[in-house]
Amino acid sequence: MRIDIRNVSFAYDAKSPVLRDVSLSVNTGQAIGLIGPNGSGKSTLLRLVSRGLRPDQGSIQLNGKNISDFKTRDIARCLAMVEQQRTIGFDFTVRDVVAMGRLPHRSRWSSESRTDREAIERAMCWAEVEDLSGRSVRTLSGGEGQRVFLALALAQEPEVLLLDEPTAFLDLRHQLSFLSIVKDRIAAGLTVMLAIHDLTLAAQIADLLAMLGNGLVACEGSPEEVLTMENIRTVFDVDAVVGQHSDPKMLYVLPALAGK
Amino acid sequence: MTASSRRTTRWLLTGLVVLTVGSALVGIAIGPVLIPIQRIFASLLRFETGGLSTIQEVILWQIRLPRVLLGLLVGAGLAVSGVTMQGLFRNPLASPYILGVASGASTGAALAILLAGGFAPLLPVGAFVGAAIAVLVVYGLARPGNRTTEVFTLIMAGVAVGSFFSAITSFLIFLSSGGEKLSDVLFWIMGGLGRANWTVLAILSPVVLISIGAIFCFARDLNALALGEETAQHVGVNPETLYRWLLVLTTLLTAASVALAGTIGFIGLAIPHIMRLLMGPDHRRLLPASALAGGCFLVWSDLLARTAFAPAELPVGVITAFFGAPFFLYLLKAKKARF
């Protein structure tokens, strides 16, 4: 599913706009990484696409249809999001929480169908949370919780997945396994938009990067085009070494402590 | 939820249904005049009229049955509205009275008693109007701002408006300078099922039953809301619609209960927690379980309230808290509950 963000502006309070006239497009089966310093509007942009917020100006479209024209339930059938912070009321089990991903696909009174059950089990398997099935979500570590919410989002069988700092709480192995799960889904046609701080991981997961600064898209393009020493210095105010590792072929960013 | 725990909850629910029917029969049977349980059936189903004396018939039909039914309705209403408020605000301290409904109703009832004297029908009307005014003020105060702050403002406004109306009630009690009216007001504030009759039931039961039924329809949405407003929205539940509907329904439910039985404490706060400890957090089972348990609990409490010091009648709120609170504390310790 294609996402088009057209001339979107947003301000939490009128004096300091968070996003100014932002336009971005992502094609079906592509991943776009939103990078930029704290407060540059990455999460805000994701929340605008997920309809958690409403743009002051401009429009956001999924496959050419304005998102404000979708019903809440209809948009939940094609778009899922893993948020940054969550508090969970009450002692639901991991299985219960993942099963909630099926809500938009079920009628109010129907019980879990075979399709539902398969989607739930598949999602739990992808996110590697089968072992946690019966655990209370309140007893999970940050990283386990993150994977459970990925499973919830995947159980929705979305066409678009929004991820806000998905690797923030994860250890190295789970950062990579989380992103490789997402990468598999992208290969299967999922469109992904993610906000991410780790530039090296961003370069590996995303087809496109959009570097945000001061509420504007400072630059966008392939990781090679966006992740340059000049761009990082301008937007992040940081000196970094950007290099290409030849085998395996990958781009890396090494931030350097100032004064050295 | 695993298969075994699902079976447990099914047993618990069945048990609660049986318990509710049993409680109702015991509530009808016991009092100053005993009515044998096997004859209650016969009379209720109109098989025969010979089994009971005329006095027993009158007591059964005009006093006990309406009283037990009122107990079931009010208990269920308070418990369901408590579950809903706790789910909606995701706050374990939320109760049906959190938005100032009880305080407004008390002020309305006190005014009705003090101004209209012995004219009984005015009391529930006064209470309902008082409750409605209090809630309207709370909503009016909490309207502006975005959704998240709105919920907090709502709770804060509820506390403030509640205190304000309590002050007015206290002032009215002070003005009444003792006497019979004062004890009327106090007894009403402490709550009781003594006003039960068929007229009251005819008015109350549709409101309570329809509200409870409508709230049951939102059970899945309440589950999703436990994950937070944004996640709920991502799985297709519109939090704004949910708040709007459920606040109206719980207010109706609470105001109707309070108008007819006074402010009965503890049920709306603790029954939801007790049921959550026993059944788990899934609102699809928690709501019906709480409705049944709340009804049973109030019927038993009322039975004790009217028999323990007969012919004097204790305010039923004394019983609900006196027996409910220790049981709740026991469960908290035994189940090591997390909220």
pLDDT, mean of residues B314-338: 79
AA letter at B276: R
The residue of chain B with its CA nearest to that of A102 is: B235
Phi/psi of residue A62, nearest 5 degrees = -110, 120
The residue of chain A with its CA nearest to that of B222 is: A89
Written as six digits, the tokens of A103 are: 């809500």
Of the candidates A179, A181, A224, A228, the one whose C-alpha atom is nearest the C-alpha of residue A205 is A179
Give the per-residue pLDDT at A154: 95
Distant-in-sequence, close-in-space partners of B270: CB < 8 Å, separation ≥ 6: B324, B325, B328
Of the candidates A221, A137, A126, the one whose C-alpha atom is nearest the C-alpha of residue A179 is A126
Q: d(Cα A94, Cα A131) in Å, to the nearest integer?
A: 10
Superfamily of chain region B33-335: ABC transporter involved in vitamin B12 uptake, BtuC (1.10.3470.10)
AA letter at B210: I
pLDDT, mean of residues B129-154: 74
pLDDT, mean of residues B9-29: 91
Domains for chain A: give ranges and CATH numbers: 3-89+156-255 (3.40.50.300)
Cβ proximity of B94 and B339 under 8 Å: no
pLDDT, mean of residues B192-205: 84
Residues 163-202 of B with CB under 8 A from A: none
Q: d(Cα A100, Cα A120) in Å, to the nearest integer?
A: 9
- Spell B195-232 as b/e; 16+ CB within 10 A means b: bbeeebbeebeebbeebbeebeebbbbbbbbbbbbbbb
User: A93: which chain B residues are within 8 Å (Cβ-Cβ)?
Assistant: 1-2
Written as six digits, the tokens of A98 are: 């993942």
So what's the ipTM on this one? 0.85
pTM score? 0.87
Q: Where are the alpha helices (DSSP H) in A66-171?
A: 72-78, 94-99, 114-126, 142-155
Does the pLDDT value for residue B3 go beyond 70? no
Q: What is the CA radius of gyration of chain B?
A: 20
Query: B116 vs B162, which has greater pLDDT?
Result: B162
User: A46 to each of A41, A52, A53, how far by Cα in Å?
Assistant: 9, 9, 9
Query: B126 vs B47, which has greater pLDDT?
Result: B126
Q: d(Cα B79, Cα B278) in Å, to the nearest integer?
A: 15
Taking an 8 Å cut-off on Cβ atoms, the answer to whether B231 and A108 are in contact is: no
Q: β-strands A31-35, A216-221: how paired?
A: unpaired
The residue of chain B with its CA nearest to that of A86 is: B228
User: A123 to each of A102, A126, A183, how far by Cα in Å?
Assistant: 11, 5, 14
Give the per-residue pLDDT at A130: 92
Residues of chain A with pLDDT under 50: 260
Give the per-residue pLDDT at A260: 47
- Report residue B64 CA to chain centroid gap: 19
User: A86: which chain B residues are within 8 Å (Cβ-Cβ)?
Assistant: 227-228, 231
Cβ proximity of B229 and B148 under 8 Å: yes
**Least CB–CB distance from A156: residue in B87, B235, B280:** B235
**Least CB–CB distance from B217: residue in A73, A108, A149:** A108
User: A100: which chain B residues are within 8 Å (Cβ-Cβ)?
Assistant: 223-224, 227, 235
User: How many interface pairs between A and B have CB atoms less than 8 angstroms apart?
Assistant: 88
Of the candidates A124, A204, A193, the one whose C-alpha atom is nearest the C-alpha of residue A159 is A193
Q: What is the pLDDT of residues B260-305, one digit of tens each?
A: 888 888 899 889 998 988 888 999 999 999 999 999 999 999 999 9
Tell me the sheet residues that pair with A251: A244
B93 contact A CB<8A: no
